[in-house]
Structure 1
Amino acid sequence: MWELAINGVDFYHIANWFYIYSFLGWLWETCYVSVRKGKLVNRGFINGPLCTIYGCGALAVYLILLPISDNLLLLFVGGVVVATALEYVTAVLMENIFHTSWWDYSDNKFNFQGRICLGCSLGWGLFTVGLFRVLHPVVEEFTELYTRRTGEIAVCVITVVYIVDFAFSAAAAFHLHERIPAWEQALDQMRVELLIQAREKMENLEDRSGLSREKLKKQLEGQKGRFDDIALIKELEEKRSGMMADISEELQKRKEAMAGKVSRNMQRFVKAYPELNRGYKIHRKKKDSHKSN
């Protein structure tokens, strides 16, 4: 088994590299998202520190593009194509299997169906060049630091643990689409209540400032706003934006709390992947469309 080769690379090295890249991918995703959100977020599908889409992506790019590794331009273009195709296929499969969406690029420019986008695709191209020129030589050297026997045992142990972890995580993921409708209904009601509260606060602020919406509209239309009014308008808009951000944060916290009542894995999914409901809505829309036809 260990000697089985793909494009001249034996299975022993493929397996070791797969787990190393999966760990590095998890480390990158977790650090990046945690820094952005200001709190620790586990971005892996499983509980353990592995993000296997990175392991699959790195190996797919390496094994497929190895014959053209001397040409930087072809490496870049090939990385864009291979990694983007893998990302798209993975997104489609996970949406159809679990009826949920695990990432969403809808707010990014030049995206396709929210599953892939130009910015990330170009990033995959740069990553591919860096993989061949910088990262993979280091990974190769690392795998030579321990004996082959150690590597074989490590791969077997990690695989067993991974399968068990994946089974529990997948079981939770399969039931996500059953829970999302109830969560969405409860969150819609909460959203309305929070928006009403925010509107009342803004109206009180506008009344105290003497700048009602009607007065602001007239000033803007007539271009008669004083400098101090403009500063006050800016302050009110900042407070309005802050209130909306607070509402989104509060809704996410409540969603995580509801998921936590079901299982720890569901809570982790909701915390790490806030766009889970998108895939559910897409699947539901398709199902309703088929019924109407």
Structure 2
Amino acid sequence: MWDLSVLGIDFYHLINWFIIYSFFGWVWETCYVSVKSGKYVNRGFINGPFCTIYGCGAVSVYAILRPVSGNLLWLYVGGVVVATALEYVTAVLMESIFHTSWWDYSDNKFNFQGRICLGASLGWGFFTVLLFKVLHPIVEYIVALYPVFIGEIGVCVIGIGYVVDFSFSVAAAFHIHEKLPIIEAAMEQAKDEMLVRMHEKVASVGFAREATLESVKERLEDVEVLKEMEQKRAAIAAEFSAELQKKKEAMAAKVGYNMQRFVKAYPNLNRGYKLHNLKKLRNRKEK
């Protein structure tokens, strides 16, 4: 089994590289999102510290583009094309299987169906060059550090744990499209109540309770006061948004741990899928 070859690379090295890249991808995604949100967020599809899409993507891109690794231009262009194709196919497959979208570029310029976008594709090209020139030599060095029999045992142990973890995660993901509408319906009611409170808070920002017309005009002419009011309004909006997300996570927790984890890691889960389906529905009506 270990000697099986795929595009000139033996299975032993492919699977070891896959595990390491999956771990690196998980570290990157989790650190980036956790820092951005100010709290720990596990961005992997499974519970363990692995992002499968990074492992598959890195190994596939390396195996496919190895013949042009000596030419930076071809390597960059190949990275843009291959990685973008993999991202699009993965998005379509996950939407088809789970009836949800796990990432959404709808708000980005030059996007296609919210599944891929020009900015991300250009970034994949730079990542591909980095992969070949920096990351892969490090990964090869790591794999060479331990004896082959240790690597084989490690792959088997990690593989068993991964399959079990993946199975539970997939089982939970299959029910997302059934549970999300229920959660979102309840959230709409909670959102209405919160919007009323938010409106009351925003309306009171920057003005005294018994403000006169003259005092209001005077404050509205002060640029610094306007800036302060805008900052306070933004803070109130962020506060309510965070409160709404907490409520959503709490409701998801009642369904199950994996559901809560998915909702926490992907706040806009299903948004892209709904937008895409809505667009298709409109196109059908127009025809």
Matched, 1:103 2:82: no
**Whole-angstrom distance in 2 between the partners of 1:123 and 1:287:** 29
Paired with 1:252 and 1:44, the residues of 2 have a C-alpha distance of: 19
Asked if 1:268 is matched to 2:261, the reply is yes
Contact persistence 1:105–1:111 (CA under 8 A)? yes
Structure 1 residue runs of 4 or more that deviate by more than 3 Å after TM superposition: 209-213, 224-228, 282-293
Trace 1:71-150 onto structure 2 (pairs within 5 A).
Answer: 71-150=71-150
Structure 1, 107-116 or 256-265: larger mean CA deviation: 107-116
Aligned to 1:204: 204
Instruction: Quote the Cα distance in structure 2 between the aligned partners of 1:199 and 1:147.
Output: 64
| 1:207 CA drift (Å) | 4.6
Superposed CA deviations along residues 165-197 of structure 1, whole A, max 9, x for unmatched, are 011001111111111111111111111111111
| TM-score, length of structure 1 as denominator length | 0.89
Q: Which residue matches 1:37?
A: 37
In structure 2, C-alpha distance between the alignment counterparts of 1:32 and 1:205, rounded to whole Å = 33
Q: Which moved more, 1:228-237 or 1:14-23?
A: 228-237
Match of 2:56 in 1: 56
Q: Deviations over 1:45-104 (max 9, x none)?
A: 000011010011101110110000000010011011111111111111111211111111
Contact 2:69–2:132 (CA under 8 A) maintained in structure 1:
yes
Q: 1:245 aligns with which of 226, 238, 243?
A: 238
Contact 1:21 1:58 survives alignment (8 Å): yes
Normalised by the length of structure 2, the TM-score is 0.91
Contact 2:108 2:117 in 1 (8 A): yes
Inter-CA distance 174–226: structure 2 relative to 1 (3 Å threshold):
closer
SS for the counterpart of 2:222 is helix
Partner of 1:232: 225
- Alignment partner, residue 12 of structure 1: 12
* Cα displacement string for residues 179-231 of structure 1 (whole angstroms, at most 9, x for unaligned residues): 11111111111111111111112223355288899x98xxxxxxx98885232
Q: 1:53 to 1:212 in 2, by over 3 A?
A: farther
SS at match of 1:163: helix
SS in 1 for 2:114: coil
CA contact (8 A) 1:206 1:212 kept: no
The separation in 2 between residues aligned to 1:21 and 1:92, in whole angstroms, is 23
Structure-2 change in CA distance of 1:158 and 1:210 (3 Å): same
SS in 1 for 2:270: helix
Partners of 1:238 and 1:211 lie apart in 2 by 21
Q: Which amino acid counterpart does residue 257 of structure 1 have in structure 2?
A: A
Alpha carbons 2:25, 2:55 under 8 Å: kept = yes
Q: CA RMSD in A?
A: 2.6
CA contact (8 A) 2:104 2:272 kept: no
Q: Which amino acid aligns with 1:234?
A: K
2: CA distance, partners of 1:44 / 1:174: 16
CA apart distance, 1:284: 6.1
